[in-house]
């Protein structure tokens, strides 16, 4: 079952400057910085609020670190801006993805991959989701 908006992903060219903008403008705090080599991005998760299921909602700022990454290719066409929306699940992301695939939506990965802060993720094809790249996120087992 999908339980929350886990995060909104924002693609940016300069992660440090973008983080400072969101901190100064909205008062968000740094939740977590990391490099995800598999996805080819450097990212910061800025915590927005706590949610009723014990998790949190975040703004994910993502900067490509390789020209061949999916985010870099997306930015070539679209520039900076909203890249995706991610929904959190209270169960296994593999089961959620399989259930949604059973309704005719293409799932991008055969098996979940590592996401931010130790989460498991999968993506749904934007052409099947009215133009929106949609991520499914399995709730992290550690604290948010």
Name the catalytic one among 39, 43, 63, 96.
43
Name the catalytic one among 39, 63, 83, 84.
84
Residues 6+ apart with CB under 8 A from 46: 19, 22, 23, 28, 29, 30, 31, 58, 59, 60, 61
7 is catalytic: yes
Nearest by Cα to 100 from 57, 51, 134, 53 = 134
76 is catalytic: no
95 is catalytic: no
Name the catalytic one among 60, 63, 83, 138.
60
Name the catalytic one among 39, 96, 135, 138.
135
Query: Which positions are annotated as active-site residues?
Result: 7, 43, 60, 84, 135
């Amino acid at each position: 079952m999908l339980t929350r908006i886990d995060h909104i992903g924002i693609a940016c060219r300069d992660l440090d400057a973008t983080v400072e903008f969101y901190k100064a403008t909205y008062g968000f705090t740094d939740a977590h910085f990391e490099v995800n080599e598999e996805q080819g991005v450097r990212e910061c998760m800025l915590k927005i609020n706590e949610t009723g299921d014990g998790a949190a909602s975040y703004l994910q700022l993502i900067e490509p670190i390789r020209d061949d990454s999916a985010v870099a290719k997306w930015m070539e066409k679209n520039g900076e801006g909203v890249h995706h929306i991610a929904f959190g699940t209270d169960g296994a992301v593999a089961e959620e993805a399989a259930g949604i695939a059973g309704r005719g939506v293409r799932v991008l990965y055969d098996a979940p991959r590592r996401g931010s802060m130790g989460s498991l993720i999968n993506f749904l094809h934007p052409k099947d989701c009215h133009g929106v790249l949609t991520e499914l996120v399995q709730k992290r087992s550690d604290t948010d």
